[in-house]
Structure 1
Amino acid sequence: MSTGQDNANAYLRTQVMSATPAELRMMLLDGAVKFAKQGRQGLVDKDHEQVYSGFSQARAIITELMTSMRPEAAPELCEQVRSLYAFLFQELVRASMDSDLPRADKAIELLEYEQQTWRLLLEQLKTEEGAGNAPAQPAQQSVPGRTAGYGAPAQDNYTPLSVEG
């Protein structure tokens, strides 16, 4: 592995380890969009390996987004978002299997909309923190092994790609 690649990996690792749960979710959405676009480009180029690789990575990220939600914080919202992610997952499977460019475009459009929504949320949270206001936090129940709010978990075996707080 090259020194440049090592540096990039170290930088990414630092970003992930120091990110808030909302920032981790944003990183995951950025990755899902990036890989879905790579899969789409594979459809255009008729490059089956790129289609498989791009869409598979996008689906893996969508799966992480679905499984890392905290329904105890907002059950109805989590269910709606989980349904959206399940739909996106299915659309990417169908786009890949059927070489369906319009279906891939629609899935990417929805992913970009979700990405923009989270970007706006992060901006709002930073604005609230900068104004000295405590960021709005969802009402939540205590989860064993986890601290309250968006803080890092109390456990030593914390998995950094989990967006749970």
Structure 2
Amino acid sequence: MLQARPDKYLETAVQTATPSKLLIMLYDGAIRFCRQGIKCLEDKDYSGASRSLFKAQSIINEFRGSLDSQYEISQELHRIYEYFNYRLIQGNIKRDAIQVEEVLNHLIQLKEVWIEAAKSPAKETVSGTHG
């Protein structure tokens, strides 16, 4: 029964989030799963690493699927997200945390960019690239 409360809280947070906030929440999830994957790789928990990295890939695939192609930046983001998935797959197959760390660092940087973009007066245009 204790598990139901966080799930309900998360459900409410997602349902009431602005597009920018939702995007940042997804970045938080991808970052968290990359960190878990790295930890599992370091601990030689390869099935745990696979699960975590697959979850990170799923979020990145959501990013790719939500890009609005009418914006030029969407093409660049698509290539970046494709590269992230490739590195996560390679990191998982080769059991190489360095490849996952590279993606993690990029995700952290991109999250910061989106946080700043969400603050700008033109945030509707920026958030439109993922909508």
Structure with higher helix content: 2
Q: CA deviation at 1:115?
A: 1.3
RMSD: 1.8
Q: Identity, % of aligned pairs?
A: 25
1:89 — aligned with what?
Answer: 85
SS of residue paired to 1:138: helix
Tell me how far apart the structure 2 counterparts of residues 49 and 138 of structure 1 sit (CA, whole Å): 40
2:111 — aligned with what?
Answer: 115
| More RCO (CA 8 Å, sep 6+) | 2
SS of residue paired to 1:137: helix
2:58 — aligned with what?
Answer: 60
2:29 — aligned with what?
Answer: 31
Structure 1 outlier segments of 4+, above 6 Å: none
Q: What are the ranges of 5 or more consecutive residues in structure 2 without an aligned counterpart?
A: none
- Per the normalisation by structure 1, the TM-score is 0.73
- Per the normalisation by structure 2, the TM-score is 0.91
SS of residue paired to 1:78: helix
Higher Rg: 1
Q: What are the ranges of 5 or more consecutive residues in structure 1 without an aligned counterpart?
A: 129-134, 140-148, 151-162
1:20 — aligned with what?
Answer: 18
1:138 — aligned with what?
Answer: 125
